[in-house]
Structure 1
Amino acid sequence: MSGRSVEVALWKAGRLKIRYPAEVLAETATRLSVRAPWAAEGVRDFGFVRFEPGDVFVEHYWADRWYTVKEVRAADGVLKGWYCDVTRPAAIGPAGVVVEDLDLDLWVSADGSEVLRLDEDEFAASGLSAADPEAAERAVAALDELARLGRHGLTALLAAV
């Protein structure tokens, strides 16, 4: 049911990284799309994009995919781009969504000119390859899929609700 409030919980390395409220936009048996304001404190400047108070995220979570996609817009509605997290498949329930971040990320600029693979060094240092080789393999495959989708536009992926 769209319009209801849910909670998003993002875990990383066994610890809760952030938890925040979001508004449901759409949902299916395997996908939840929500809208939420920038939930962290202050500004986060990555060099290629700045996340700041007033930014709005439309976030897409899948129970059957190893990633999430977040459309990022400035307070005035201008599209900044898409920030994609490689995660284990999301646990989607009536109260919200829980995801486990696996360190790999991808940025796709609004005009599609930049598709940046991020945090591959963090992923390598995480130890996931030794601790859970199957999950590590799926994570790398998910990043490759996101990079391919990013080069061809994420619009078709996100429109399919």
Structure 2
Amino acid sequence: MSGHSAELPGTVRVVLVKAGRTKIRYPARLLSDDGERLTVRAPWAGEGTRDFGFVRFEPGDVFTEHYWRHRWYAVKEVRAADGTLKGWYCDITRPAVLGGGELTVEDLDLDLWRSADGRQVLRLDEDEFAESGLAARDPQAAAQALAALDALELLARRGDFEALIAD
């Protein structure tokens, strides 16, 4: 890490924006900021348990979240309260912006899940992405989003996924 660590404020508020509105806002501990990638850790910020079928996010889960200033995704390592790795949930987003104690990320609907053992790699919410109208409204952003999803899926299937977030 570069000299940014001395400037870490301790906590930031992660603000996830979707379709121009704040979807969720939650406090997280800022673990690192190397000028390109920011890493934060936070408990599951949702209400109660969310069962996706392929994974359950529940109170006590801990998310170590990696955001980039020039990449179109965020990678979130999900662990159960006992430390067991559940897997990685990836949001396709515009590049992250940190300012005023807030880490703001615009969610572009597409997601990817990779199970802890790497056997399950799922592309998610492609229907929501198509319905969002982003391709017509901002074709360049839509192309970046799809390219980001393809790149993450390739890494997840090749087994290179952990290297993406390794220091």
Segments of 4+ moved more than 6 angstroms: none
2:81 alignment partner, SS class:
coil
Counterpart check, 1:39 vs 2:54: no
> Residue type of the partner of 1:100?
E
1:1-161 pair list within 5 angstroms: 1=5, 4-93=10-99, 95-151=101-157, 152-160=159-167
> Residue type of the partner of 1:158?
I
Structure 1 residue ranges without an equivalent (≥5): none
Deviations 1:15-67 (A, max 9, x none): 10000000011111111101000001101000000000000000000000000
1:11 alignment partner, SS class:
strand
2:136 and 2:96 map into 1 onto residues whose CA distance is: 22
TM (norm. structure 1) is: 0.96
1:52 and 1:74 map into 2 onto residues whose CA distance is: 8
1:153 and 1:119 map into 2 onto residues whose CA distance is: 23
1:5 and 1:71 map into 2 onto residues whose CA distance is: 18
TM (norm. structure 2) is: 0.93
Cα RMSD (Å) of the superposition? 1.1
1:98 and 1:40 map into 2 onto residues whose CA distance is: 17
Deviations 1:83-131 (A, max 9, x none): 0000000112361310000000000000000010000000000000000
